[in-house]
């Protein structure tokens, strides 16, 4: 029940900055570009068939989408080892450092908890340092970590190119760095891991296809200008094209400078497209602005909204029967454990894992009532099902029973 998690499905720097501002997200496009007063729109008929995006969905029309949605509504109780077993006993006693782009970002807390839990299971110390959205602070954190002579460093959402001197210092000191939620050129001391965004967007699109019985007119809200996140958005669009030839898709694309216009741009696009019946703000943190735009256009009764990340605030809206009807998200806690697995393989000089996965689940009226709607429950990973991976990873590392 796990989807494949490629290296190029990250939350990039611009997306995370957008998250902190609470407005728009980074996204992709389709064909036939036009302009609007607050950005650009892309639109087109969802046509063609073929293999979908990073999560491995295959074509087959609305029936395929419905089958995928049915599967992804269920709890995830399987564990897919990311690689061959390893002996991690030699790394006990050191410290792992976790450095997020900003400690204020809720979506990164599940990752942090997963890394910390895994470190404790290994008998490692855990230290964290806040990047504060500032390259200087991020660099300072990495330098501080290197000077502490850690077992390794996990960064989250930090583009290595903006902290290049600090990354060089880590390489010179032979400190391995596992970079979560970004991508770049790998080496023996730097590897990358995605966070499940592409898989989540594929799941959300399949939900829309299934719910509309293959006839959705989708209006998305995205941010243009970031290649990596555009690829993540494109995975969702590819799923729509593969499984819904009768669906239509339009994206309101904003630059970072246009983010304050998200609500008005959404309203304007809806007024120009009276047939739109599904709204897709790609990430939960820009769902409130999208929803405000829906209200401004007087379309609350006509729009079914879907988003991704499975943030507790938006999942609560799903539970309350609000405008948002579904939320698809990857288990951030699991990905924290999996990130630690990747770091361990570097520390031990092992090849990178080849079966990296993203446990994605769809939350809607069929299953949301069973959740403990608290941030603690979300961050712990329990929303996704039995957290068997917290026992299975230690076994994989040779330290579990």
- CATH number for the domain harbouring residue 97: 3.40.50.2300
Phi, psi (deg, nearest 5) at residue 285: -70, -15
pLDDT of 49:
34
Distance (Å, whole) CA 119 – CA 113: 10
Q: Are residues 241 and 168 in the same domain?
A: no
346 and 311 co-located in one domain: no
Alpha carbon distance 221, 24 (integer Å): 7
> Looking at residues 82-109, what average pLDDT do you find?
92
The per-residue pLDDT of the chain, averaged, comes to 86
The b/e string for 139-160 (b: 16+ C-beta within 10 A; e otherwise) is bbbbbebbeeebbbbbbbbbbb
Q: Looking at the structure, do residues 50 and 99 belong to the same domain, yes or no?
A: no
Dihedral (CA of 244, 245, 246, 252) sign = positive
Long-range contacts at 165-171 (CB < 8 A, ≥ 24 apart): 165/139, 166/138, 166/139, 166/140, 166/142, 167/142, 169/142, 169/143, 170/142, 170/145, 170/146
Is 142 in the same domain as 265? no
Cβ-contact 277, 283 below 8 angstroms: no
pLDDT at 183: 84
pLDDT for 62 equals: 96
Same domain assignment for residues 33 and 126: no
Residue 218 belongs to some domain of the structure: yes
The answer to the question of residue 16 being in a domain is yes
- Per cent of the chain over pLDDT 90 is 73
Number of domains into which the chain is organized: 2
**Whether the Cβ atoms of residue 385 and residue 75 lie closer than 8 Å to each other:** yes
Per-residue pLDDT tens digits for 137-192: 999 999 999 999 999 999 998 989 999 999 999 999 999 999 998 888 999 999 99
CA distance 255 to 38: 9
Stretch 202-223: mean pLDDT: 95
Q: What is the pLDDT of residue 258?
A: 74
In a domain, 102, yes or no: yes
Q: Are residues 162 and 104 in the same domain?
A: yes
Rounded to 5 degrees, what are φ and ψ at 267? Answer: -60, -45
> Is position 372 within any domain?
no
**Cα angle 214-66-319, degrees, rounded to a multiple of 5:** 100
Instruction: Tell me the per-residue pLDDT of 42-90, one tens digit each, with 9 for 90 and over.
Output: 666 654 333 333 444 445 799 999 999 999 999 999 999 999 999 998 8
- Mean pLDDT, residues 260-274 taken together: 95
**Residue 54 pLDDT:** 40
* Pair (177, 217) in one structural domain: no
pLDDT at 8 over 70: no
Query: Is residue 228 very low, low, confident or very high in pLDDT (cuts 50, 70, 90)?
Result: low
Please indicate, yes or no, whether residues 54 and 184 belong to a single structural domain of this protein: no
Residue 109 belongs to a domain:
yes
Is residue 318 domain-shared with residue 299, that is, in the same domain? yes
Claim to verify: residue 346 and residue 269 sit in the same structural domain: no
The verdict on residue 40 lying in a domain is yes
Reported pTM: 0.87
Name the pLDDT band for 23 (thresholds 50, 70, 90).
very low
**Which range marks the domain in which residue 270 is found?**
3-75+197-330
Query: Does residue 190 share a domain with residue 294?
Result: no
Residue 374 lies in a domain: no
Q: Is position 84 within any domain?
A: no
207 touches 69 (CB < 8 A): yes
**pLDDT at site 92:** 83
Same domain? For 67 and 98 the reply is no
């Amino acid at each position: 029940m796990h989807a494949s998690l490629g290296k190029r499905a990250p939350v990039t720097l611009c997306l995370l900055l957008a998250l902190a501002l609470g407005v728009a997200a980074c996204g992709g496009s389709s064909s036939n570009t036009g302009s609007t007063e607050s950005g650009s729109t892309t639109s087109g008929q969802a046509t063609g068939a073929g293999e979908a995006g990073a999560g491995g969905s295959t074509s087959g029309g609305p029936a395929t989408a419905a089958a995928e949605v049915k599967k992804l509504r269920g709890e995830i109780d399987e564990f897919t080892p990311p690689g061959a077993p390893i002996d991690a006993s030699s790394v006990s006693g050191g410290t792992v450092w976790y450095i997020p782009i900003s400690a204020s970002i809720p979506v990164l807390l599940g990752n942090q908890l997963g890394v910390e839990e895994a470190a404790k299971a290994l008998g490692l110390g855990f230290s964290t340092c806040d990047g504060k959205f500032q390259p200087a602070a991020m660099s300072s954190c990495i330098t501080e970590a290197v000077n502490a002579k850690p077992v390794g460093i996990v960064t989250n959402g930090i583009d290595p190119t903006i902290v290049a001197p600090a990354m060089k210092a880590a390489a010179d000191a032979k400190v391995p760095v596992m970079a979560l939620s970004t991508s770049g050129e790998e080496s023996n001391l730097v590897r990358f891991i995605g966070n499940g965004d592409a898989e989540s967007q594929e799941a959300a699109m399949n939900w829309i296809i299934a719910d509309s019985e293959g006839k959705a007119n989708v209006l998305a809200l995205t941010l243009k200008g970031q290649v990596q996140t555009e690829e993540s958005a494109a995975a969702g669009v590819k799923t729509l094209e593969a499984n819904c030839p009768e669906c239509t898709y339009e994206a309101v694309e904003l630059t970072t400078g246009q983010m304050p216009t998200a609500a008005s741009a959404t309203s304007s696009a809806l007024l120009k497209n009276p047939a739109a019946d599904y709204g897709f703000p790609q990430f939960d943190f820009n769902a409130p602005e999208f929803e405000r735009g829906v209200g401004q256009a007087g379309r609350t009764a006509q729009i079914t909204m879907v988003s991704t990340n499975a943030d507790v605030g938006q999942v609560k809206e799903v539970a309350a029967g609000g405008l948002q009807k579904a939320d698809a998200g990857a288990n951030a806690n699991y990905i924290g454990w999996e990130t630690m697995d990747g770091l361990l393989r570097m520390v031990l000089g092992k090849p990178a894992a080849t079966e990296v996965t993203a446990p994605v689940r769809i939350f809607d009226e069929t299953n949301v009532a069973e959740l403990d709607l608290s941030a603690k429950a979300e961050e712990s990973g329990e929303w996704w099902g039995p957290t068997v991976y917290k026992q299975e990873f230690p076994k994989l590392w040779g330290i579990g029973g």
